[in-house]
Chains A and B, each alone.
Chain A
Amino acid sequence: GDSVTQMEGPVTLSEEAFLTINCTYTATGYPSLFWYVQYPGEGLQLLLKATKADDKGSNKGFEATYRKETTSFHLEKGSVQVSDSAVYFCALKGGNKLVFGAGTILRVKS
């Protein structure tokens, strides 16, 4: 069945550092891909999405590119802030449902 694997955390960075969180997937066909974020004490929020190969999703300085060849959708940000500290989930849309990775905790220190 469909599955998503993302890098284990926690990832701890200093403010203004470059961020990469790796995500790879296994799926039938070419599903839409998503990054969701969960800030402390809040619900899941859609961060960005890409619906077809080579699409780049972007929002709030975060970017991810749908790579069909490597079945990947890595999340990047050029300069993280303390306010980016959260749990990040990679997900794919398989049929009627979202299939999520286990989540990666990001901690940004000032």
Chain B
Amino acid sequence: GAGVSQTPSNKVTEKGKYVELRCDPISGHTALYWYRQSLGQGPEFLIYFQGTGAADDSGLPNDRFFAVRPEGSVSTLKIQRTERGDSAVYLCASSRPGERETQYFGPGTRLLVL
């Protein structure tokens, strides 16, 4: 079946602009996670959704970052007033009910803020 998909695959924007990154989890997966991976580093946790609600947003770096999952499937990560330091690969992952130990990752969105 289809894996986790993310769009766009690449996004170039200018400092100060607003961006939205989309994640389509695997069908039937109720848990959804966002991570950020800077160059040469491992992914860092941003936020976790169980269904429609953000169950843990402790990894969001500041209030410019926000994520939604209104119908419990697709999620959008929103970044306001982008800064050059936001440049990274944003990864989405999902897991099936009762098996939150195993997360399936999408290919990521590479964000470049000029």
Contacts and interface: CB of A to CB of B under 8 A. Distances in A.
A43 B56 contact: no
Nearest to B45: A97
21 contacts: A32-B101, A43-B4, A43-B106, A44-B43, A44-B93, A44-B105, A49-B101, A89-B43, A91-B42, A96-B33, A96-B45, A96-B55, A97-B33, A98-B43, A99-B45, A100-B42, A100-B43, A100-B44, A101-B42, A102-B42, A103-B41
A43 B107 contact: yes
Contacts of A102: 40-42
Contacts of B42: 4, 89, 91, 100-103
A42 B107 contact: yes
Nearest to B105: A44
Main secondary structure of the interface of A (DSSP, over half): strand
A96 B56 contact: yes
B41 A93 contact: no
B101 A43 contact: no
A89 B33 CA distance: 17
Interface residues of A, number: 22
Given A46-B102, A51-B101, A93-B101, A98 B107 contact: no
A44 B37 CA distance: 11
Contact of B102 (A43, A49, A89): A49
A45 interface: yes
Interface in A31-62: 32, 36, 42-46, 49, 51
